[in-house]
């Protein structure tokens, strides 16, 4: 059994960097496929009962998630 995580999410300030990570990181060779689309997202964090607070200085980042092929079939 592999110790690789089921899902890996990459954040990038530019679309191109996120898109190229599939090839640069050899994700297919590592058994991953891209899940969904590469979209800019706004990130917030919740701590305890406090309201969510912006992270990454409130800047939107492009997010791409890679999922292990075996994990995708089990879902």
Query: In order along the chain (75 residues), what is the average pLDDT of each group of 10 residues?
Result: 84 95 92 94 96 96 93 53
What is the token pair recorded at 25? 């990181």
Measure the CA–CA gap between 20 and 30, rounded to whole angstroms.
Answer: 15
55 domain residue, yes or no: yes
Q: Whose structure tokens read 């919740």? A: 46
21 domain residue, yes or no: yes
In this prediction, residue 74 carries a pLDDT of: 52
In this prediction the pTM is 0.78
Which structural domain range is residue 31 located in? 7-74
In this prediction, residue 71 carries a pLDDT of: 60
What's the domain count of the chain? 1
29 domain residue, yes or no: yes
DSSP string, the chain: ---S-SEEEEEESSHHHHHHHHHHTTTTTTTEEEEEEEEEE--EE--TTSPPEE-GGG--EEEEEEEEHHHHHH-
2 domain residue, yes or no: no
């Amino acid at each position: 059994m592999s110790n690789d995580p089921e899902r890996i999410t990459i954040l990038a300030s530019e679309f191109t960097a996120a898109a190229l990570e599939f090839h640069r990181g050899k994700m297919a060779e590592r058994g991953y496929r891209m899940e969904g689309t590469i979209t800019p997202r706004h990130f917030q964090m919740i701590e305890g009962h406090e309201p969510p607070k912006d992270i990454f200085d409130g800047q939107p980042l492009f997010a791409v998630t890679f999922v292990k092929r075996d994990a995708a079939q089990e879902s």
